[in-house]
Amino acid sequence: MSQAGGRQFVLGVDLDGVVADFARGLKPIAAEWLGVAESSLTDQISYGFREWGLERAGGYDALHRFAVKDRELFARLPPIPGAPAALRRMSAAGDIRIRIITHRLYIHWFHKEAIRQTTEWLEHHGIPYWDICFMRDKAAVGADLYLEDSPENIQALRAAGHETIVVVNSTNDHLPGPRAGSWEDIEAMVRERVDRWKAERRPHSGPAP
């Protein structure tokens, strides 16, 4: 196993919007909830899906509860194209420790079910990881590099001095780079960062006596 200084590079990976296509998975459930055609709901959404007019049916929290509890959303989300295979390649290289960091404990007294759906989904799609953290404050979880799509989380991570790649979608168009629009881009950016991290940790030879 290739490691620098006896440890692996820790990659903090968000799930929803990064590995799991949350918006695409939620959209048909939102159409059912609202009683409208799925085609009437725009894909150009902001964080919180206000473009879908959820307030007329109880708001986002009510839809989220219905989707997770009654439609097992976390177990049925489609993966972002290329994500599972890219994570498998990065894990197989041996120098990256994948740490899933997700804020899915959103519904009171439903944590066991949310965790079950999440772990079953990860195993079903063959997604490797060594650690999984259910955390709202992602900066409290140690990682050398973060993959994130939520504007609030990206800003908080960067404000705390953590390197973060913006995984591009319509919620974060206003945020500066580094930005990645595909898992091909993500994989290349992570690989470059890992190589640089290893070089920085490599012992330097001193001057010849």
Q: Write out the residue range of the structural domain in which residue 61 sits.
A: 22-76
Per-residue pLDDT of the chain (209 residues; tens, 9 = 90+): 444 457 899 999 999 999 999 999 999 999 999 999 999 999 999 988 999 999 999 999 999 999 999 999 999 999 999 999 999 999 999 999 999 999 888 777 788 889 999 999 999 999 999 999 998 889 888 899 999 999 999 999 999 999 999 999 999 999 999 999 999 999 999 999 999 999 998 876 555 44
CB atoms within 10 A of CB 78: 11
Please check whether residue 12 lies inside any domain of the structure: yes
Please check whether residue 167 lies inside any domain of the structure: yes
Counting the structural domains of the chain, the total is 2
38 and 4, same structural domain?
Answer: no
User: Which of 102, 100, 144 lies closest to 8 in space, CA to CA?
Assistant: 144
11 and 32, same structural domain?
Answer: no
Please check whether residue 95 lies inside any domain of the structure: yes
Q: What is the pLDDT of residue 4?
A: 45
48 and 31, same structural domain?
Answer: yes
Q: What is the pLDDT of residue 3?
A: 47
86 and 57, same structural domain?
Answer: no
Q: Which of 16, 21, 95, 149 is catalytic?
A: 16
Using the 3D structure, point to which of 76, 95, 116 is the last residue of a domain.
76
Please check whether residue 11 lies inside any domain of the structure: yes
List the alpha helices (DSSP H) in the chain. 22-34, 60-71, 73-76, 83-92, 111-124, 151-159, 183-201
Tokens of 92: 């197989």
Contact by Cβ (8 Å): 72, 118: no
Spatial distance between the Cα atoms of 135 and 101, rounded to a whole number of angstroms: 6
137 and 192, same structural domain?
Answer: yes
Please check whether residue 172 lies inside any domain of the structure: yes
16 is catalytic: yes
114 and 61, same structural domain?
Answer: no
162 and 145, same structural domain?
Answer: yes
Please check whether residue 47 lies inside any domain of the structure: yes
97 and 30, same structural domain?
Answer: no
Spatial distance between the Cα atoms of 15 and 43, rounded to a whole number of angstroms: 19
Residue 129 belongs to a domain with what CATH number? 3.40.50.1000
108 and 65, same structural domain?
Answer: no
Q: What is the pLDDT of residue 204?
A: 60
97 and 5, same structural domain?
Answer: yes
Tokens of 81: 């194209």
Q: What is the pLDDT of residue 97?
A: 97
136 and 69, same structural domain?
Answer: no
Please check whether residue 116 lies inside any domain of the structure: yes
Q: What is the pLDDT of residue 201?
A: 84
Using the 3D structure, point to which of 76, 94, 117 is the last residue of a domain.
76
Using the 3D structure, point to which of 48, 76, 104 is the last residue of a domain.
76
5 and 106, same structural domain?
Answer: yes
Please check whether residue 68 lies inside any domain of the structure: yes
